[in-house]
Amino acid sequence: MAVLNEDSNLLKADITIKDWTQRLQAEFPTVNITYHNERGLLVEALAQEAKKDNYAAIVMGTTGATGAKNIFWGSNTAIITAKSPIPVIAVPNKPVHTAINRVGLLTNLKQEELITLQEFLHCIKGDIDLTLIHAHKEQESVNSLEEKLALWLTNIEPFNAVRNVNILTAPIVREDKNLDDIPEVISKIIADNAIDLILITKSRKTFFERLFTTSVSKAMTLDLQKPAFFGKTI
């Protein structure tokens, strides 16, 4: 969807998006691709369009016009992801494999995360291998953590589309109180374990906000280079 700010751009935008649609349709003949142009701000127009019944999710890039390097950065993507009434899939601006087999669910053992998983499975309508990713406090007992994770794992059993489940955990070592440790730890887990796509629940305010804001002490330059599925606004 293209959103226009000037009348003089209308014809050019129509021609551009029509040409782009034709090229995409030729490349992906099994996908039904439609388009339309609309005046207004992207954030407002897209939010209204998303309320219609026919959309399963919004797909957006992870860097804006400024080319910022922050994880899932880009002002439009950040705002739309935070406010969207339907799920948002953030895709890195580089070629990615289309096969989604191993999916990582960022979890703090909350029920809302199960809703995110359910939304994702509804969108893809296929089977997956699921990895639960949990960052914990360094001083937390390993035995206590394992017990909590094992108990919470029973919540995954009703999801028939989940073939296998494994758990990845890592401690948050807070050497500097000003560092954004949680995103850094999770970034390393994902990079080291060949996760194809990440599921993020927006009700995890602390983690979600860190993805889209810079630290006071340093800019976040994490580079996951993995698609991410954000559950709809709760």
Note whether residue 60 is domain-resident.
no
Instruction: Quickly state the pLDDT bin for 116 (edges 50, 70, 90).
Output: very high
Task: Indicate whether 220 and 110 sit together in one domain.
Answer: yes
Task: Indicate whether 33 and 107 sit together in one domain.
Answer: no
Note whether residue 207 is domain-resident.
yes
Percent of the chain with pLDDT over 90: 20
Q: What backbone phi and psi angles, to 5 degrees, belong to 132?
A: -85, 125
Note whether residue 57 is domain-resident.
no
Note whether residue 165 is domain-resident.
yes
Note whether residue 6 is domain-resident.
yes
Task: Indicate whether 28 and 125 sit together in one domain.
Answer: no
pLDDT (tens digit per residue) in 118-136: 999 998 888 999 999 888 7
Task: Indicate whether 117 and 224 sit together in one domain.
Answer: yes
pTM reported for the whole predicted model: 0.79
Task: Indicate whether 115 and 6 sit together in one domain.
Answer: no
pLDDT at 173: 67
Q: Pick the closest to residue 62 from 106, 93, 95, 94 (CA basis).
A: 93
Note whether residue 67 is domain-resident.
no
Over the chain, what is the mean pLDDT? Answer: 77
Beta-strand relationship, 197-200 and 228-230: parallel
Task: Indicate whether 139 and 218 sit together in one domain.
Answer: yes
Task: Indicate whether 12 and 107 sit together in one domain.
Answer: no
For residue 201, the domain's CATH number is: 3.40.50.620
Burial (0-12, 13-18, 19+ Cβ within 10 Å), 191: middle
Domain span at 24: 1-40
CA angle 15, 17, 20 (to 5 degrees): 105
Provide the 10 A C-beta neighbour count for residue 38: 15
Note whether residue 195 is domain-resident.
yes
Number of domains in the chain: 2
In the predicted structure, residue 211 carries a pLDDT above the cut 70: no
pLDDT at 70: 45
Task: Indicate whether 195 and 123 sit together in one domain.
Answer: yes
pLDDT (tens digit per residue) in 49-108: 888 878 889 988 766 555 554 444 456 777 787 778 899 888 877 766 667 889 999 888
Note whether residue 53 is domain-resident.
no
